[in-house]
Amino acid sequence: MRLLLYIFAFALISTCQAQKSDFQAATHNIIVANGIVGGIGSLINKKKDERTLPVFIKGFTQGALGGYLNFESKKLVRKFGDSGNYKYLWPSKLINAAANSITLNAASNRNFWERWVLNIGFNHFEFDTKKDVKFRYRIMPFALANFSYGFTQGRLEIGKTFLSGNFIFSTSTKNDVYDGRAIANNLIYKRGLGDREQIVIAHETIHVFQYEGYFWFNNFFQNSPLFESRTFYIDYNYILLRALHDSQKLFGVPYSDRFYEKEAFYFQKTPLKITRSKILFNVKKQ
């Protein structure tokens, strides 16, 4: 039953229509990607003596709150795409972390304030208000592997990394296929983009948020011995995101028409000011 509920949640998210307005974007983030996920997750983690409907309503409501914050964090990324001002990126990251924490708590059938998480690259920070050991630091292996891979592609931009809260790499490799890409929660962009650089970084930041947004999936493995490892927090969400993204390829969905790409296009810059033309923005074809 747990597996069936998770499959339903995955299918619902990955088959959603692209966002063409802030209303649609807010609806997706609040109701589908977080509200329903919070409700279903809370049912999966319901205690035997708890009633089904109140548990679902609580999970859905808390998840919807996380979804609203998630939506607002992406709007801040859009402001960065419009202006190139890095002052928007740390606030967007912190709001997004709070949003994902609330949804994770909802899906775990916890109160929304009980556990807070923040990821900076492969570094996973966790603060639990109810445990004796309040603070935990662990390493996310898939994010770490992709961080290491980033060094094979280019150089680490320390200034941009510090200003954004995400590990950002730049490459001088000539490539007509893409201007940027996100690998787990690391970003790579091509040097020499001029004014397009901020749009590319904004686009890939949304992909990072998509990676972060599936952290609730890791609850499925909470009975695994690795789940409570003192050293590693296994970011299974990375596998899920790649699977959902690539599954659209298997069904013949063009790269630029895949849901995750359309969302990144929508939030990379104010919609009236953008185009998907390859002249303005090239993305990796996977």
Supply the DSSP symbol for 154: S
Domain extent for 8:
2-273
Residue 81 lies in a domain: yes
Pair of tokens at residue 142: 């898939």
Q: pLDDT at position 13, please?
A: 56
Pair of tokens at residue 123: 């570094």
Residue 285 lies in a domain: no
Rounded Cα gap, residues 87 and 84, in angstroms: 9
Q: pLDDT at position 132, please?
A: 82
248-265 CB burial, b ≥16 within 10 A, e <16: beeeeeeeeebbbbbbbb
Residue 279 lies in a domain: no
46, with CB counted inside 10 A (0-12, 13-18, 19+), is middle
The H or E element that residue 188 is part of is strand 186-190
Rounded Cα gap, residues 183 and 179, in angstroms: 14
Residue 88 lies in a domain: yes
Q: pLDDT at position 276, please?
A: 46
Residue 221 lies in a domain: yes
Residue 169 lies in a domain: yes
Residue 278 lies in a domain: no
Q: pLDDT at position 135, please?
A: 96
Strand order in the sheet with 135-139: 115-120, 123-128, 135-139
Q: Give the contacts of 98 (CB within 8 A, at least 6 positions apart).
A: 66, 69, 116
Three-class SS state of 33? helix
Q: pLDDT at position 254, please?
A: 86
Pair of tokens at residue 197: 């650089």
Inter-axis angle of helices 236-250 and 2-14, nearest 10: 60
190 bridge partner residues = 171
Residue 281 lies in a domain: no
Pair of tokens at residue 102: 């609330």
**Domains in the chain, number:** 1
Q: pLDDT at position 278, please?
A: 42
Q: pLDDT at position 21, please?
A: 86
For the chain, 286 residues long, give each residue's pLDDT as a single digit of tens.
555 555 555 555 555 555 678 999 999 999 988 999 999 999 989 999 999 999 999 999 999 999 999 999 999 999 999 999 999 999 999 999 999 999 999 999 999 999 999 999 999 999 999 888 899 999 999 999 999 999 999 999 999 999 999 999 999 987 666 899 999 999 999 999 999 999 999 999 999 999 999 998 888 777 677 777 889 999 999 998 998 888 888 888 888 788 889 999 999 998 765 444 443 444 444 3
Report the greatest alpha carbon distance in the chain. Answer: 61
Q: pLDDT at position 102, please?
A: 97
